[in-house]
Amino acid sequence: MRKWTLALLLSLALLCVPLGGQAEGAGLSTNAGTSPDAVSSPTDTAPPELDLSPTAAPEATPAPQSLPPVSDAPLLESPPLHLNCAAALLMEADSGQIIFQMNADSPRPVASVTKVMTILLTLEQLDAGRVSAEDVVTVSESAAGMGGSQVLLDVGEQQNIGTLLKTMIVGSANDAAVALAETLYGSEALCAEAMNRRAEELGMANTHFVNCTGLPADGQHTTARDVAVMSRQMFAHARYFDYSTVWMEDIDHGDGRVTQLVNTNKLLKLYDGCDGGKTGSTNEAGYCVSATAQRGGMRLIAVVLGAASGKERFAIAQQMLDYGFANYRQYPVARRGTKVRGQLPVTGGKRDGVSLVLDGDLTLLVNKGDEQRVQLSPSLPESVAAPIDAGDVVGHVDVNVDGRGVAQIPIVAGESVEARGLPLRRIWENWVGRF
């Protein structure tokens, strides 16, 4: 009888544990260009505001995540330039923001620009450690027999993966592309399947690959947007630029023959800051290029498809890059770990509030002088219920430019908050277990 009495008293104690106070409303539109006030004290449970002080730091570091996705809507409704080509697109590489585009989603052949995906898959295999640049490849009959642009590989010739990758990037070598495809995937057909899987992962909805070279093939096509997407991924690999900046080099075939490799991307010599890109041309595709240049820490990608001549494709790309660098700059909107001023009320917890931090880095492309048009608006619930773990997502920040939503940044709990009464519940369970 005494044990039942004690158990009843414990249950009454649990029922009498007070819950957290009434929740207060949260959410305040914040101008990213204004100077924030000081960070609130830990006991302050006022509605949170963004504190963009560069010294702000989280009490608990959230787990790393990918960059917040930004809107794929172009910053300009129509190109500000006359573009004498079939399709074009100008993109900022870090954020993936599109400055302007023309016929960006029209499927068409792109000739050797197709090799951007072949190069990307090779770079990913190298960075994953599945293969090494020093691994030796024996050239097959099918690889050596490829037409079009070549580095003139012989059947049975041995070259390492790094050399083959270089000849594909610099000289657009079809024989090297097939040799790599066979080494990495077993056959060119299996490589094409891998290329399509990767395209699907990247959201390249209007792309289909049949081969790894870009030689004419029924059913093979892509778009200016999709070329920019896969080019952006390729340019994200530092190893790529070890090869893309080579202007001229001799390739030793090991039997006394030497092939001179000359970069097909003439913008390396013509355009200040250009350090990479991929060219392509066939009668069907016209003259194409996906070129990149970096100035002042900002990297742009210019895609030109279906130009009338090789000289014209480079001239159009130059004009596009010039416009981007002249009119836009990168604006650091937020960084992971920035504190949100104030605390979010917690119900049923050992603490009445929880601190909040941003869980994403975001740099946007803005027209020079328009930084004040970037607005940050936190979206948070009135309260959260304990228990809470550090890093739990509790809301987000809407990033708007001129009222147009361009991104969302997650807001996470800066520390853990235990629920009240858990020790008493454990005592209750221990007592109940004895009956």
- CA dihedral of 15, 21, 23, 24, whole degrees rounded to 10: 170
172 annotated active-site = yes
350 annotated active-site = no
Of 40, 95, 112, 149, the active-site residue reads: 112
Question: How far is Cα 166 from Cα 251, in angstroms, rounded to an integer?
Answer: 10
* Phi, psi (deg, nearest 5) at residue 215: -60, 150
Of 40, 95, 115, 278, the active-site residue reads: 115
Of 40, 140, 149, 172, the active-site residue reads: 172
Residue 137 and residue 159 in contact, taking contact as beta carbons nearer than 8 Å:
yes
112 annotated active-site = yes
Q: Give the 3-state secondary structure of the chain.
A: CHHHHHHHHHHHHHHCCCCCCCCCCCCCCEECCCCCCCCCCCCCCCCCEECCCCCCCCCCCCCCCCCCCECCCCCCCCCCCCCCCCEEEEEECCCCCEEEEECCCCCECCHHHHHHHHHHHHHHHHHCCCCCCCCEEECCHHHHCCCCCCCCCCCCCEEEHHHHHHHHHHHCCHHHHHHHHHHHHCCHHHHHHHHHHHHHHCCCCCCECCCCCCCCCCCCEECHHHHHHHHHHHHCCHHHHHHHCCCEEEEECCCCCEEEEECCCCHHHHCCCEEEEEEEEECCCEEEEEEEEEECCEEEEEEEEEECCHHHHHHHHHHHHHHHHHHEEEEEEECCCCEEEEEEEEECECCCEEEEEECCCEEEEEECCCHHHEEEEEECCCCEECCECCCCEEEEEEEEECCEEEEEEEEEECCCECECCHHHHHHHHHHHHCC
Which residues are tagged catalytic? 112, 115, 172
